[in-house]
Amino acid sequence: MGSKGTAIVGLDLGSTKTCALVCEQTEKGKLRVVGFGRAESKGWRRGIIVNLDSAVLAIKKAVEAAEDAADRPVDNAYVGVGGPYLKGVDSRGAVTLAKQNQSSRQVTVEDRRKVFQAAQAITLPSDRKIIYAEPQEYLLDSQDGIRNPVGMVGSRLEVNIHVVTASVTSHENVVTAVNRAGVVVNDTVYEGLAAASACLTGDERELGVALIDIGGGNSNLIIYHEGTVRYSAAIPIGGDHFTNDVAVGLRTPIPEAEKVKMAWGEREPFEDREAPVESPSLGEQPSRLVKYSMLREIIEPRVQEFLELIAEELKRSGLHRQLGSGIVLAGGGGKLGGLPAMAERALGLPVRLGQPAGLENMGSELPDALYATVVGLVIYGHRLRLLHNSRNAGLTERLWGIFRGKN
């Protein structure tokens, strides 16, 4: 087992839960879970912080629980960022390789770095910033489909990249909340990317797959094809919307509505079960028994709305016919009973529930779609650390393949 100084921490801040996961690198280079903490989130609304002090308190509780379990302090972490203000865009950059009296030359690692930087030089509003960028393909003298141009010969190098941008305000509030909780932010990671790191295989990324990370306040969509990120978007519906619909429809408190929603979700898909569910009422009104058919009338319209938004984004991406591996659902909202079957019917694609993997000592709790993001944050953070620590160009090339999920 590695020393305590090699711990890698993931911090998932959500509208409903805040999670901290502590891992160590073993002697064989694997990551092993040594501590996990969870706290109920406060101070969030629809994916953004609305009360900084409450958000900080939830972070402290989750971190302290993880510290107790790991028997070590948590000083820094890789932090997930999501929310309704994330946007994905494509961009292209180019550099000239040939110098005066030279028709062509070999592409170097420095050339690749420069063209990647050129592609990120896009004009953004003052209230937005880039939080992630990934190359999709390189072009050398108009020859496309190149994944790694280093060592090849040409006169002009281009690259197509996918860029994820975020609201500066919402992003900085997340960083501020984590810092006030006494934790340094190593890096912020797009939550959809983190969930994908934990739930998707290299083959799925190659064949084409859409991962939908359904959080409490909103959902993240990320699409892979031919091994790279091709599209990303935020969907303004999450698990809390289903809970609120139940609370309004049954006139029951939010915590009780969540319990009723989960009871409905645990049934078999499309099961016509009429065994009633007890639903406490507001105020002094007595509890009442609610049939599953009534819950279906409340929940399924919102599910249909959600799936229609997904279908629109898939069509907008232009990749809806290239998803050979179908759709993977992650996040707590993905566990809503019947959702995978309903999504298959509505979208005409195979759908499965993502199960995070890739860490040792995960126990029985962590291999759950609910924890896809926090598990992915540790995996992604580990890859970043390997890349940043590498000094050998050959090793960097190999690690870049791992970083992009080709292991």
Q: Can you tell me the distance from the alpha carbon of 35 to that of 261, in angstroms, rounded to the nearest whole number?
A: 30
- Nearest-5° angle of CA 301, CA 305, CA 310? 145
Q: How confident is the model at residue 270 (pLDDT cuts 50, 70, 90)?
A: low
Strand partners, 33: 23
Q: Can you tell me the distance from the alpha carbon of 120 to that of 179, in angstroms, rounded to the nearest whole number?
A: 28
Please name each of the domains of the chain with its CATH number.
87-166 (3.30.1490.110)
Q: For the whole model, what pTM was predicted?
A: 0.89
Q: How confident is the model at residue 278 (pLDDT cuts 50, 70, 90)?
A: low
pLDDT in tens, 143-201: 999 999 999 999 999 999 999 999 999 999 999 999 999 999 999 999 999 999 999 99
Q: Can you tell me the distance from the alpha carbon of 287 to that of 278, in angstroms, rounded to the nearest whole number?
A: 7
Cβ atoms of residues 162 and 229 within 8 Å: yes
Cβ atoms of residues 233 and 88 within 8 Å: yes
Give me the phi and psi of 371, to 5 degrees please.
-110, 20
pLDDT in tens, 74-83: 999 999 998 8
Q: Can you tell me the distance from the alpha carbon of 404 to that of 227, in angstroms, rounded to the nearest whole number?
A: 7
Please list, in sequence order, all residues whose beta carbon lies within 8 angstroms of the beta carbon of residue 92, skipping any fewer than 6 positions away: 119, 158, 159, 160, 161
